[in-house]
A and B are shown apart, each in its own frame.
Chain A
Amino acid sequence: MSAETHEVHRHPAPTGFIRKYIFSLDHKVIGIQYIILALAAVLVGMTMSVLMRLNLSWPGTSWPILETLFPAGAPGGVMSPEFYLSLVTMHGTIMVFFVLTTAPQGGFGNYFLPIQIGAEDMAFPVLNMMSFWVTLVGFIVILAAIVVEGNPAIAASIGASLGGASGGTVGPIGGWTGYAPLSAVGLPAGPGQGAGMNLWIVSIAIFCIGSLLGALNFITTLLNMRTRGMTLMRMPLTCWAWFTTAVLALLSFPVLLGGGILLLLDRTVGTSFFVPGGLVFGSTVMNTHTGGSPILWQHLFWFFGHPEVYIAILPGMGATSHILSTFARKPVFGYRAMVFAIFAIGLLGFFVWGHHMFISGMSPYSAMTFSILTLSIGVPSAVKTFNWLGTLWGARIRFTTPMLFAIGFVSLFVAGGITGLVLGQSSLDLPMHDTYFVPAHFHLVMGVASIFGMFAALYFWFPKMFGRFMHEGMGKFHFWITFIGVYCIFVPMHTMGMVGMPRRFAQFTEYEFLKSLHPLVVFVSISAIVTVLVQFLFYFNVIWSVFKGKKADDNPWEATTLEWTTTSPPPHDNFAGVLPTVYRGPYEFAVPGAPKDYLMQTEPDIETAVAGAGNGHNGHKH
């Protein structure tokens, strides 16, 4: 395959089960571990979203199973408002951290970044292994928050020693943003503010450390381990996306970690970083704290929180660019513009955190600055969108499942991004803030679009990872139901938001002006349930295809990048001891004069090859 090769030291593959599959140093195994973690976490997060929808559309209904599982949170099977609020919190936290941050970067990035740049592994395999296991510990801690807060017996015993627990929720109450001062004062603030909140902070802090180890590895690997000929501007756009994401993670997670430590100190040691003096909760006056600033937490959180949004979606953008080009059989339109757009989005992402805080009482001048910077992200985003459309323009598209999901990504990114222009303006944000318009916006653009990027990536790379295709029929069914389903869920939410339906409320039966929206609420819930059900088909497809899927050869999609030059699945050191040499850019489709409609990155130039050997480009040696 590669005309110019060089030997590398071959690490023998580990043979014991534990070193091979559990504590593996192989980036491919670690990548799959991250994906499995995300698939498990998304199941928890999805279940919680269904529970929330049940309560919103059929409030007061008794669900006996809930009483069995959470006797204090759902007495008589009817969800308490506190229970609902903890569902909101845990759904957000688990989805953002353990799904949208792990699968795109830790999962697919880990598996394919080293292969796509022609390296035999990550730069620091031990750190890579640690990053996964640290992240897993973070996940276990957040699950412990569910148990400690949800089970009255455990809440009374273990929960009491961890800061007190009510037993009536499934975790802390504070949203995924954990706003101070409610999150900073402990039990006086109400149910879900004791042990669950402590565990929540600890889990996030652990997660930060795991992500930092990962980011360190990604950046070093990409800068240091590219193979011969793999210049920066010959890297697939996926690698650029993972690299930018790693830089964002590297610079934003330490800020969250610092903020988390301050919050934990406020809760446990009694410092006053975020807690002002004289707070009143019910009949309790807090006089143990003085002078802290709750807004300070918002600044620290959102300085991390906004880049986090891009951490979730940039890998999806990379995968989409890659997959669109492959199945349109055309080069990515404007490769350099795409690279600069990724970087511009990442860079601007650090200067816009204030748009999450327009109603925090900030100066209108600050708000205007944040607003202008926020809207300017529309420019690189539009560059990307139009380049995706340019890639598709006039192409003979192969409508495979990964291609459908990639096109779905573009659709969702536009549909969700366009309302960002509304919310990014401080004057328009004021009425929209804390209504359903906001969840509608961010679910479409950072939630569902990222997930579509990951679906596309999984369907696309599955043959490489397991040597078998995922089932196309099931895949297409999965795509269409999910695609229509998510629009049915989130488009009506925009309407609800414009009417003024507030987010995070457990039920709306008390509000006269929202009564007319109830059919819409029920419609959203039914759409959500159908969409969730079809995900089980996806799970089935994954498991079934690992064992029974149609066999795939080394390059089943006729793609051009380095992962398709090696076997499916790749050997332990990726290229069987011979690192490839790269001669060209990553998206050379439809090259005039070439024997096929694509040229792999490892193929030397046509003229040279023909002139030098006369037998095509495979036998030629420089």
Chain B
Amino acid sequence: MATSTKSLPKTGMRGGPKPGRPNGNGSPNGNGHAFTPRFSASRYRIGMWVAMAAILMMFSALSSAYIVRAASSNDWRSLAVPPTLWVSTLLILVSSVSLEIARRKLKTNRTNSTRLWFWISAALGIGFLASQIFAWRSLVRQGIYVATNPHSSFFYLLTATHAVHLFGGLLALLYLAMRKQPKAGDDLAMAKGQAAADVTTLYWHFMDVLWIYVFFLLFFWK
């Protein structure tokens, strides 16, 4: 009988009628509401989580390559920790804190100091990249290149891949720092600014955690 065309329920997929109602984040505009331009902060948040999942997969792939390669042969020569990397770590940790301050200030609309905190975070981010470049240059001065041994290959690869992704976050930070302040009462521009700050902060914290992971994988795992 299940396949007969006669015993089908009259209404929705699961039997009962369902009232039309907004589903989750689907339609910010309620029925009969005045016309408002469509903007959904959750869209950017979802997009960012999805993008972070992709980045995480890439680092997982490189990590598994690292672990397999480290275990599979006897040509592995571990590098000592370049001291500058501790400075990098400190800088990015502090930048995460300062960016979080900026984001919270934006939420309470204390916009004057917000801009300053965005600039501080961006400066710390630039400091992190400079510190990474310094670490690479110091290794190069010691004659340690990408192809010198598998550990140095992975060191340059993982730090550079992280730096490229962090650079994207840095561009977003600079955008936030230079963004024109919306006029009072311009709710749409306010919401957009808040959403941009939220997803950038999310991404930046992710870069922070990712760096600590990469640092540990490279120098404390093996």
Contact = CB atoms under 8 A, between A and B. Distances in A.
Interface residues of A, number: 80
A270 B147 contact: yes
B183 interface: no
B65 A227 contact: no
A473 interface: no
B6 A262 contact: no
A262 B69 CA distance: 12
A61 interface: no
Contacts of B113: none
Interface string B146-180: 11001001000100010000000000000000000
Give the bracket for the number of chain B residues in contact with chain A. 35 or more
Contacts of A120: 38
Contacts of B8: 331, 590-592
Contact of A271 (B31, B72, B153): B153
B205 to A, nearest CB: 19
Interface string B13-53: 11001111111111101111101111010110011001101
Contacts of A551: none
A212 B54 contact: yes
Given A228-B31, A272-B153, A394 B26 contact: no
Contacts of A607: 10, 17
A271 B150 CA distance: 7
B23 A230 contact: yes
Contacts of B57: 250-252, 254-255
A5 B29 CA distance: 10
A68 interface: no
Contacts of B10: 591-594, 605-607
Nearest to A392: B3
Contacts of A581: 20
A228 B69 contact: no
Contacts of B33: 6
Interface in A301-353: 303, 329-331, 333, 335
A436 B43 CA distance: 47
A219 B48 CA distance: 11
A296 B68 contact: yes
A229 B27 CA distance: 10
A301 to B, nearest CB: 11
Given A7-B35, A292-B69, 18 more contacts: A6-B32, A9-B38, A220-B43, A224-B26, A226-B26, A228-B22, A229-B21, A231-B18, A233-B13, A254-B57, A265-B153, A271-B153, A330-B3, A582-B20, A584-B12, A585-B14, A592-B6, A605-B11
6 contacts: A5-B31, A6-B32, A9-B35, A220-B46, A251-B57, A293-B72
